[in-house]
Chain A
């Protein structure tokens, strides 16, 4: 090497170990480090992780079989867990006392704080199949006294005597998955069509853009209503689920496609893309290796913000009876039970699925915002 070789020292020197770490940090690591600094977003991410654990093993969290009905046990109020009693730290729930109403001849239940029913974490309950494979009966919460005939209803029961808490756990699985699946489908469609549109330009671009405009100008709610109403009544819940996902994604991909197209158009002009072309890279390699990774973090951030929209859409459709239908359980289906004032007045605990919806939507929004800020701090 000649005389004028410069012994270059790197630009960043935060102490050699830290420097080394930062220099070899890939973009994702940098994004994660920036994201971690946002405490609120991090907290919401934990909340979402909890939600998705519930999605994986809802039965573990449930206390009763969600399908089990018992008309006698209708509208039992919530039995909240208490942690202390006279003798110190001990878990218990107040028992319920039922009385038959002489006029309506229906059972009416009330919480009796004096009678304590001891409960325990990680105990046995009804049998279920973990992931559909392994049979087990381990649950998060259950009665201490396994021989007792008592049952606990952490969030009360609905008009058919079904345990609300357990149903909420199962509803979480459906509602959180539909949103995810619908957005995943939108992302795939959006990137594909948006990318083709942006990269190739010309006729293809024109056609796809007009299609997007057409779809976006259609009013979404009537479309959804029409499409779900067109679903055959006799379809299995799984088929309905699948169909709802497709319907939601049907219009959802358009916004993403537009963004992807915009990104492609601007990325096409970037010098590093040109350098790759001049080196002889194939079009495919340029798209997958250079262009897609460049906007992936942004896409993930915007997708995360699209999921709560899907959750609310599904919840709304199911609430109106046009989405997921019973016996399948989702938050919207659960909220159907709370459709009239009487029910709400008598059994306000039936509104708790709404709380879960709010929590999930808030968490997704804050995580999405945090991701977007971390991925794009100065808009690079």
Chain B
């Protein structure tokens, strides 16, 4: 029997709270529970979609995972290229530094993610420079290679970001992220700020790069169609918590959490013959500083019962590899999107 390979990334009970301070002495009066007990895993070579509306904590979670932020508690177990697993949550800045090349990030805003005062050569070459490649000729070659990889002409190396369109800038950002041969790439809404036609080009590029370079993606997005297209598995977040995790096909065909179903139903389909918006959610998304009691979704849930108001649901495996946090998951019948 073959031993199943351990996950590339395993996150356990991740929490990130931002304290709210009030008063003259700045006492902590409460917390914004941006990430509130998140657990997930990603296998090598796969793409996990992290889905939710803005403010649900997915960006904060992804930044904790890549240690741009320091988590309040929890484990982030990363399997390094040497084969051993380290808990990133517990490492200090100097300890993280040698591991940085293995996890990189692609940002949402193509305009804010590139330093406008640096040439492409400087931007894409900086990771190489600070990690030991001091020979300029070597760097030039590698930068040319990376630019070609993302579909840009190497001659553009001397240009500044202001000469490029949004889609091109995003490619520059991707080239930068790939400079150090990362194993895990966190893509934080990489196509949300791009024009529709450019989105397609960028998604194709990401798929192709994954194939070529054996990358693993954590794909954060609020756009369900994009997620369905590019992800193997999907995790849905709501107000800092994970409500459902399953393979893409399973979660779209038969969602098991009312929020997931509502989210899918709310997305307008680009086909006038398919009417969406049948499941209409009342109310608004609660604030993570002051979430409701029990299950955070209960005030808006069509299926809520007494238990939902008082008890927070625990994550359970309803079907193989299909996890849900809902008291009534077995009973309720939800509609998915026909494949």
B151 touches A8 (CB 8 A): yes
- Compute how far the CA of A279 lies from the CA of B177 in the bound complex, rounded to whole angstroms: 8
With both chains docked as a complex, state the minimum distance between the C-beta of A378 and any C-beta of chain B, in angstroms: 12
| Chain B residues positioned under 8 Å from A278 (CB to CB) | 66, 68, 100, 103-105
B101 within 8 Å of A by Cβ?
yes
- Compute how far the CA of A11 lies from the CA of B198 in the bound complex, rounded to whole angstroms: 13
- Compute how far the CA of A4 lies from the CA of B204 in the bound complex, rounded to whole angstroms: 8
With both chains docked as a complex, state the minimum distance between the C-beta of B215 and any C-beta of chain A, in angstroms: 15
Interface window among B17-25, B155-163, B289-297, B318-326: B155-163
Number of interface residues of A (CB under 8 A): 34
B68 touches A280 (CB 8 A): no
A293 within 8 Å of B by Cβ?
yes
| Chain A residues positioned under 8 Å from B116 (CB to CB) | 27, 380
Within 8 A of A (CB), among B152-182: 152-153, 156, 158-160, 162-165, 167-168, 171, 173, 176, 179-180
B107 touches A275 (CB 8 A): yes
Residue of A whose beta carbon sits closest to that of B106:
A275
A10 touches B151 (CB 8 A): no
- The answer to whether residues A280 and B100 also contact, given A271-B112, A272-B112, A272-B113 and a CB cut-off of 8 A, is yes
- The answer to whether residues A4 and B130 also contact, given A272-B114, A280-B97, A293-B117 and a CB cut-off of 8 A, is no
Number of interface residues of B (CB under 8 A): 46
B194 within 8 Å of A by Cβ?
no
- Compute how far the CA of A143 lies from the CA of B101 in the bound complex, rounded to whole angstroms: 75
- Compute how far the CA of A6 lies from the CA of B107 in the bound complex, rounded to whole angstroms: 21
B208 touches A2 (CB 8 A): yes
| Chain B residues positioned under 8 Å from A23 (CB to CB) | 156, 159-160, 162-163
| Chain B residues positioned under 8 Å from A294 (CB to CB) | 115, 117
| Chain A residues positioned under 8 Å from B115 (CB to CB) | 272, 276, 290, 294
With both chains docked as a complex, state the minimum distance between the C-beta of A279 and any C-beta of chain B, in angstroms: 4
B205 within 8 Å of A by Cβ?
yes
Most B-side CB within 10 Å, residue of A11, A27, A275: A275
* 1/0 contact string of A1-44 vs chain B (CB within 8 Å): 11011101011100000010011111100100000000000000
B201 within 8 Å of A by Cβ?
yes
Residue of B whose beta carbon sits closest to that of A273:
B115
| Chain B residues positioned under 8 Å from A271 (CB to CB) | 107-109, 112-113
Point out the residue from A8, A24, A275, A276 that lies within 8 Å of B158, measured CB to CB: A24
Within 8 A of A (CB), among B124-169: 126-127, 130-131, 148-149, 151-153, 156, 158-160, 162-165, 167-168
Residue of A whose beta carbon sits closest to that of B69:
A274
- Compute how far the CA of A10 lies from the CA of B158 in the bound complex, rounded to whole angstroms: 13
- Compute how far the CA of A272 lies from the CA of B159 in the bound complex, rounded to whole angstroms: 17
- Compute how far the CA of A49 lies from the CA of B100 in the bound complex, rounded to whole angstroms: 49
A274 touches B201 (CB 8 A): no
- Compute how far the CA of A280 lies from the CA of B164 in the bound complex, rounded to whole angstroms: 26
- Compute how far the CA of A5 lies from the CA of B180 in the bound complex, rounded to whole angstroms: 22
- Compute how far the CA of A296 lies from the CA of B115 in the bound complex, rounded to whole angstroms: 14
| Chain A residues positioned under 8 Å from B97 (CB to CB) | 280
- The answer to whether residues A279 and B127 also contact, given A2-B208, A24-B159, A24-B160 and a CB cut-off of 8 A, is yes
Q: With A26-B160, A274-B105, A281-B130 given, name 19 new contacts (CB 8 A).
A: A4-B204, A8-B152, A8-B153, A8-B167, A10-B168, A11-B164, A12-B163, A23-B162, A24-B119, A24-B159, A24-B163, A271-B113, A272-B114, A274-B68, A274-B107, A278-B103, A279-B176, A280-B100, A285-B130
Residues of A that sit less than 8 Å from B by CB: 1-2, 4-6, 8, 10-12, 19, 22-27, 30, 270-272, 274-282, 285, 290, 293-294, 380
